[in-house]
Structure 1
Amino acid sequence: MDSPRLLRRCLLAALSGVLVASAAVGTSAAADPTAAPAAAAAAVTFQDTFDGPAGSAVDSSKWQIETGDNVNNHERQYYTSGNKNAALDGQGHLVITARKENPSNYQCWYGTCQYTSARLNTSGKFTTTYGHVEARMKIPRGQGMWPAFWMLGNDIGQVGWPASGEIDVMENVGFEPSTVHGTIHGPGYSGSGGIGAGYSLPNGQAFADAFHTFAVDWAPDSITWSVDGTVYQRRTPADLGGRTWVFDKPFFLILNLAVGGYWPGDPDGSTAFPQQLVVDEVKVTTGDSSGGGTGAPIRGLAGKCVDVAGANPANGTAVQLYDCNGTAAQKWTVSSDGTLRALGKCLDVTGNGTADGTTVQLWDCTGGPNQKWTVTGAHDIVNPQADKCLDVKDNNSANGTRLQIWTCSGTANQKWTVG
């Protein structure tokens, strides 16, 4: 099959003029499945809980509806307007419904359309650069179903796809009921060459059986995917083989339910209609962008705090674990540039190291990759350059234990709560 995502999206009648992409399966790295999502020191920049009367359309101040068919992917649906296939259920959900019908004699690339569905986006209404982007959803089931929650670079109208970049937070194809995919696409790694991984539920559970939270933690030079707080992949510029990282600019959000196409295949006799993508909430949160402020504690092993030894602001001062005491040495700001700051300086991986056991220290903020951190919804604090986690040495909760970077394992000495 050629280019499953490149063949997926068409130019639809909307502000964005969006094209497409898709998902490739890769290896995954598990983290703590019980971790709660979202760092505490974050501001909500976009949220829709889909409250409103049953049958009403989505909030037009947040979403626009795209209409039309999609020849590029050989999808079978016609995306309709208004509340015909995307409506609130009166119980705090958006329901995107795919039906086997054609009430208005819609014409598709293959002739008279056989199915209707809906697709909506935030282009012209909301964009974000970095942050924790999540949707809590229950996906449909059945051969030929193709639900997705994803993002496109807001400059797509100027530079086209794939130069705009695409971040697929979640895609599912109906013949894989237990698996979802997360992928990035950009110039030289688009369509079937997209870079991503799959995540599967244990014991053959189906995603259609319950609500799940699909998220990315997006920071300068890193994107981390999770399902229900469990991290399953992290991507950085090092994964691109020298190709261009196009994920340091504004992106907008998209929700859709496609029917058929090259990747999922068409519905068959086993597929029941209607099918529904039920969305409980879409939310984007982002860390403090000021680079200053009073900061907040970062708590970890045994409830103790990340601490600058002796409250000493000198370059090279050790960063350690210590009883939480509310002093400035324990007040950290999560900045939009990916740094963690205290006492006017940055959390720094000593000597630009990437090996297990490399210590961390306080240092003048330089903008270097050894000072970039991703605070994930699974409570990891990750240095993307090393692809390693902030770690309490030897799992020792004693005051003064040095902090270091170490291969992410999901253990308690690598779990942190900001705020």
Structure 2
Amino acid sequence: MAAHRARSLKLGSLALLLSVGLISAIVMSLTGPSASRAHAAVGAQTWSDEFDGAAGSKPDASKWTLETGGSGNGNNELEYYTNSTDNASLDGNGHLVITARQAGSSSGLSCWYGACKYTSARLNTAQSFTQAYGRFEARIKIPRGKGMWPAFWMLGNDIGSVGWPNNGEIDVMENVGSEPGTVHGTIHGPGYSGSGGLGAGYTLPGGAAFADDFHTFAVEWSPTAITWSVDGTAYETRTPADAGSNKWVFDHPFFVILNLAVGGGWPGDPDASTSFPQTMTVDYVRASAWNTDSATTKSGAIKGIGGMCADVAGASDADGTAVQLHTCTGAAAQQWTLGSDGTIRALGKCLDVNGGSTADGAVVQLYTCNGTGAQKWAYSSANDLVNTAADKCLDATGSSSADGTKLQIWSCSGGANQKWTIG
């Protein structure tokens, strides 16, 4: 693919945002690039924006943060990102419209190179939604013209602590205006970033241009592969083997970004043939989970000492809710699914060791699924439920069978307080 620079994030402006995240993790399986479609065990939708709202209104602030500034974003871009409805607004017909405009000499907006020539918009979900693994898709009609650079992409939510590219970047779709019929899908990580990113391009047949109509751009992402597709046709798959001796960093939650850049090292600057304003029109953005039903190994009540059930306290699905023993009632708070991905789920969230601790006595809780070792369990033939990261057993505190007894992990001893039946 054409050499290009990745869209680095302004760490200063988003460091606080990146410390806050709603993490939803799921696991899926993929076929290779030879398939006619990108197949995966895709399950329930976990997040979406259909952009319903009044014409001229701002994007939903509970879902999107509008970035501002004209730093060039490490790519010598020429735009200033604003939070104005002049640059990002709903059209009243179920679309988000991101508009790049010429700024004019009297705009007063300052860019890395001087007075900004263009304004546009960049939106992210760092504060509202992050997820590891799954299907991420958007239906978009891109702009046209030299120097235009629309993108639908994702960044690892740990960028504030590890920096780019160690956090990882997944470019679901990028287009440069000089290639009207081609989009690119790329990943960036340590040792394979910028012009060395791993990916490929997809070109529409018959000389068609992506700006002529809406197209659906997607990735299906599992712990073992990432597959890109356009309108359901898979065109590229990358796996950890492609990173060689470099670290594969696509193993943690990412957040979503939409933006329309103008100019920069890859697309080049607009010229006399480029008309303004230019628009990137987004019909929807959706994320879906791995289908737990298709990978279920066991499900039902988890019964322990004294015939008591593992129970989510108060039937609350809030992160950090204690998991305890309780008299069996058959309620949803006592219905668990053991997936082939190693998770144990109830109420749409995962059984989790608080803080990822491996110490004896670390309490277990309900928490948004995030793919970490704190949420990986194995059920042994001896009826032990073992947290594989800690190599310790699910344990009823103090060998008690009383209602409200907290569950924890503890070195496996074979005691009755560590034996569990499922179903």
TM-score in terms of structure 2 length: 0.64
Counterpart for residue 370 of structure 1? none
Q: CA RMSD in A?
A: 2.9
Distance 1:338 1:228, change over 3 A: farther
Match of 1:195 among 166, 179, 198: 198
| Aligned equivalents of 1:12, 1:83: Cα separation in 2 | 24
**Which residue of structure 2 lines up, in the alignment, with residue 115 of structure 1?**
118
How many Å separate the matches in 1 of 2:290 and 2:7?
35
After TM superposition, give the deviation of residue 69 of structure 1 in Å: 1.2
CA 232–12 in structure 1, closer or farther in 2 if over 3 Å, else same: farther
Out of 70, 74, 77, the residue aligned to residue 75 of structure 1 is 77
Q: Tell me which amino acid in the other structure corresponds to 2:59.
A: V
Tell me: CA distance 1:114–1:335, structure 2 relative to 1, closer, same or farther (3 Å): farther
Shift of 1:284: 0.2
- Tell me, in whole angstroms, the C-alpha distance in 2 between the residues paired with 1:29 and 1:38: 10
What residue in structure 1 maps to residue 164 of structure 2? 161
Q: Does 1:105 align with 2:108?
A: yes
Which residue in the other structure is 1:204 paired with? Answer: 207
* Mapped contact 1:121–1:253 kept (Cα < 8 A): yes
Residue in 1 that maps onto 2:127: 124
Q: Distance in 2 between matches of 1:124 and 1:336?
A: 30
For residues 231-246 of structure 1, the aligned pairs below 5 Å read 231-246=234-249
Q: 1:256 and 1:100 mapped to 2: Cα distance?
A: 16
Q: Which runs of 5+ in 1 are unaligned?
A: 19-27, 296-332, 340-364, 367-419
1:324-339 equivalence runs, <5 A: 337=341
8 Å Cα contact 1:141/1:275 also seen in 2? yes
Aligned amino acid, residue 278 of structure 2 = Q
Compare CA radii of gyration and give the structure with the larger one: 2
Identify which of 291, 296, 320 aligns with 1:292: 296
Could you say if the C-alpha distance between residues 50 and 252 of structure 1 is closer, same or farther in structure 2, counting changes exceeding 3 Å?
same
Question: Structure 1 29/200 Cα, relative in aligned 2: closer, same or farther at 3 Å?
Answer: farther
Q: Which amino acid aligns with 1:67?
A: T
Q: For 1:240-319, list aligned pairs within 5 A.
A: 240-289=243-292, 292=296
SS in 2 for 1:99: strand
Letter matched to residue 55 of structure 1: G
Write out per-residue CA displacement over residues 18-48 of structure 1, whole angstroms, 9 at most, x where no aligned residue: 9xxxxxxxxx95543xx5x776861111110
CA separation of 1:16 and 1:195: change in aligned 2, threshold 3 A:
farther
Residue 67 of structure 2 is matched in structure 1 by: 66
The equivalences for 1:354-373 within 5 A come to none
TM superposition shift of 1:11: 4.2
Q: Compute the displacement of 1:269 (Å).
A: 0.2
Contact 2:145 2:177 in 1 (8 A): yes
- What is the percentage of aligned positions where both structures have the same residue? 62
* Cα offset, 1:84, TM superposition: 2.8
Q: Identify the match of residue 145 of structure 1 among 132, 141, 148.
A: 148
Distance 1:188 1:80, change over 3 A: same
Residue 59 of structure 2 corresponds to residue 55 of structure 1: no
Structure 1 counterpart of 2:4, one-letter code: P
| Partners of 1:288 and 1:336 within 8 A in 2 | no
User: 1:391: which partner in 2?
Assistant: none
Task: After TM superposition, list the pairs within 5 Å mapping 1:39-50 onto structure 2.
Answer: 42-50=43-51
Tell whether 2:184 aligns with 1:184: no
Residue by residue over 1:66-106, the C-alpha shift from the partner in whole angstroms, topping out at 9 and shown as x without a partner, is: 00013321100000014230000000000000001246410
Match in the other structure for 1:88: 90
Cα gap change, 1:9 to 1:268, in 2 (>3 Å): farther
Instruction: Give the aligned partner of residue 23 of structure 1.
Output: none
Residues 337-394 of structure 1 show CA distances to partners (whole Å, capped at 9, x for unaligned) of 399xxxxxxxxxxxxxxxxxxxxxxxxx99xxxxxxxxxxxxxxxxxxxxxxxxxxxx
Deviates further, 112-121 or 6-15: 6-15
Residue identity in the other structure for 2:61: S
Compared CA separation, residues 143 and 30, structure 1 to 2 (3 A)? farther
CA distance in 2, matches of 1:7, 1:67: 15
**1:101/1:41 Cα in 2 relative to 1: closer, same or farther (>3 Å)?**
closer
In 1, Cα distance between equivalents of 2:340 and 2:264: 38
Report how far residue 139 of structure 1 moved: 0.3
The 1:38–1:7 alpha-carbon spacing in structure 2 relative to 1, beyond 3 Å, is closer
Partner of 2:221: 218
Counterpart of 1:128 in 2: which secondary structure? strand
Structure 1 residue 13: deviation in Å? 2.9
Q: Deviations over 1:127-156 (max 9, x none)?
A: 011000000000000000000000000000
Q: Name the structure 1 match of 2:5.
A: 5
Matched residues in 2 for 1:336 and 1:181: separation?
A: 33
- Name the CA distance, whole Å, in 2 between partners of 1:95 and 1:208: 14
What residue identity is the alignment partner of 1:118? A
| SS of aligned partner of 1:199 | strand
User: Structure 2: any 5+ residue segments left out of the alignment?
Assistant: 20-31, 300-336, 344-376, 379-423
2:178 to 175, 178, 195: 175
How far apart are the structure 1 equivalents of 2:128 and 2:7? 27
Corresponding letter in the other structure for 1:337: D
Q: Distance in 2 between matches of 1:264 and 1:294?
A: 51
Query: Size of the alignment, in residue pairs?
Result: 292
Tell me: CA distance 1:41–1:186, structure 2 relative to 1, closer, same or farther (3 Å).
closer
How big is the shift at 1:5?
2.1
1:334-413 equivalent positions in 2, closer than 5 A:
337=341
The answer to whether 1:135 aligns with 2:135 is no
Q: How many angstroms apart in 1 are the aligned matches of 2:263 and 2:90?
A: 24
